[in-house]
Amino acid sequence: MNQTVGQGQSRDRIPILTKFSYGLGTALDMWGFWLYPSVAFAAFHMYLGVNPMLVGLALTLIRFYDAFTDPIAGWLSDNFRSKHGRRRPFILVAGIVSGLGLPVLFLVSPEWVGINFLGLSVVFWYMLLSNLIFIPIISAYTVPYNSLGAEMTPDYEERTSVMTYRSVMQKIFEVGNFYALRFTNLAWFLIPGTEKKNTLLGMQVYTSILGVVMAVFALIIFLRVKERYYEKVVLKTKEPIRLVSSLYETLKCFPFRMMLYLGGSFTLGTSMVGTLGYYVTVYYVCGGDNRSGDNWNFWMGLSFMLGGLLGGPILNRVAYLFDKQKAVIVAAWIGILGYGGSWFLYTPLIPWLQTTASGLMGLSSAGLWMLHSSIGADIIDYDELHTGKRREGSFTACGSYILKLGNAFGGLLAGMVIKWAGFIHGQQEQSPQTIFWFRSMLAAIPVAGLILVILFILRFNLTKQKCREIRTVLEQRRGTV
């Protein structure tokens, strides 16, 4: 349904079922990319006893590698042509294959821990090799999927609505990451004669279930979501997009650079929170009881989800009443309250208070990434105005690898903090100094990143009025889509 808005433009409404179908794809992104780093330390360090520095190094190298597969995936999908469009075939094939391949990441034998190759644990090498194969597959899904989101509507407000649906559903599926370790607490995975659990076996079963769901969702997206710009704009562009545009030319765009700095600051500041937060919960709030910590981790995941469910709609409304830049600032201040408040809210005296911090973090995170994606679609219009090309894949890939580099450094930093703070594997009670540094880093680093977010968004120059003017010029040039 279309409505008339300012400057004679029509409000381009997307059917709710289409938004819902598109939102299902966030499950593949959450489980395919972010489940592994969220449980890696629990599975490979806490359970198997692999050096935490090696686990952190593996996660960092994986993200570095991941960062450079994304531009290739974006370049391929930007230049791909088929009767089903340029994004949907990648979403279908890569989505199904990545779902079926997810359990392979955890097919490790405990006997490998004591075996070294080139002086390092075989488990470390398996982490690298399995991801060397898996990462290009999931990249071939996520880059076209995120690019498709920028192509669903030309409307300034409706883009935020689409991303709100995606953000809300992402928070729902993110609970799957928080529930993972609680799933391994089921009686099926308890080692006979002990109170200990087989974390590795639990993760193998869990990822097999998630993988089937991922494959089904990829099929639904392929069937239900269409590519709006394909026939009107893409097929009329004869000149292929060069690979260098995914790595360099997109960085010439000033609004895009500001969003890269913003996203990188938030990611680097918060990427270690999942790991350090889990350690603080287990060894400070729960006194070293990892089964109790896993249960609290699940409830915190639910709180994070509820915060995210509220964050998308609330900040969508702020963006509608004012603009997207002001909504980003509001989201950042909420994040500062949640992350900074973790020093007081993670406490063994009242364990449930940590769920309050988690809820605020979820609200901030959901709002920021929803707005980041919506603003990204506006930037692609800005680029089309100046280049005449639709390069969603290039911008998505470039933005993705910058964010993943930040995430990679965050994973490495988490491993360094765990080692540097004097954490002793197998010891239930950690020293007060170790706990102090865990708690300090958990509170301070994200707040520093969020302050940078505010500073960068203040320099952003694509206002609501400017975006509507760009849309008018584009539709005069090549028609509506």
Per-residue pLDDT in tens (0 to 9) along the chain, 481 residues: 445 454 555 557 788 899 999 999 999 988 998 888 888 887 888 777 777 788 878 888 887 787 778 878 877 887 878 888 888 899 999 999 999 999 999 988 887 877 878 878 888 899 999 999 999 999 999 989 988 887 887 788 888 888 888 888 888 888 888 788 878 777 777 777 666 777 788 888 999 999 999 999 999 999 988 877 655 555 456 565 666 655 667 777 888 889 888 888 888 777 766 667 778 888 888 888 877 887 787 788 788 888 888 888 898 888 888 888 999 999 999 999 999 998 999 988 998 999 999 899 989 988 888 888 888 888 888 888 887 777 777 777 777 766 777 766 766 677 777 777 777 766 777 888 888 888 888 888 889 989 999 999 998 888 888 888 888 888 887 667 6
Phi-psi region of 253 (alpha: psi -120 to 50; beta: other; left: phi over 0): beta
Task: Annotate 121-178 with DSSP letters as a single string.
Answer: EHHHHHHHHHHHHHHHHHHHHHHHHHHHHTTS---HHHHHHHHHHHHHHHHHHHHHHH
What pLDDT score does 4 carry? Answer: 47
Residue 127 lies in a domain: yes
Angle at 379 between CA 374 and CA 381, to 5 degrees: 105
Shortest CA distance to 176 belongs to which of 207, 137, 135, 142? 207
Residue pair 31/183 in contact by the 8 Å Cβ criterion: no
Domain with 152, as residue range(s), is 19-478
Residue 6 lies in a domain: no
Tokens in use for 424? Answer: 């002793």
Residue 9 lies in a domain: no
Phi, psi of 190 (to 5 degrees): -80, 135
Question: Measured between alpha carbons, how far is residue 192 from residues 44, 187, 198, 289, 409 in Å?
Answer: 21, 10, 10, 19, 39
Is residue 243 classed as helix, strand or coil in its secondary structure?
coil
Helix H, strand E, coil C: the string for 175-200 is HHHHHHHHHCCCHHHECCCCCCECHH
CA atoms of 60 and 38, how far apart (whole Å): 13
CA-based torsion, 370, 264, 363, 319: positive or negative: negative
Residue 336 lies in a domain: yes
Shortest CA distance to 409 belongs to which of 37, 151, 4? 37
CA atoms of 300 and 306, how far apart (whole Å): 10
pTM for the structure as a whole: 0.71
Residue 2 lies in a domain: no
Residue pair 197/191 in contact by the 8 Å Cβ criterion: yes
CA atoms of 234 and 240, how far apart (whole Å): 10
- What is the total count of domains within the chain? 1
Residue 340 lies in a domain: yes
Residue 471 lies in a domain: yes
CATH number at residue 156: 1.20.1250.20
CA atoms of 143 and 275, how far apart (whole Å): 26
Burial class (CB in 10 A: 0-12, 13-18, 19+), 43: buried
CA-based torsion, 105, 107, 111, 117: positive or negative: negative
Strands 10-12, 2-4: pairing kind: antiparallel
CA atoms of 295 and 302, how far apart (whole Å): 11
| Locus of tokens 């392979």 | 104
Residue 12 lies in a domain: no
Structure letter (DSSP) for residue 242: P
What pLDDT score does 1 carry? Answer: 47
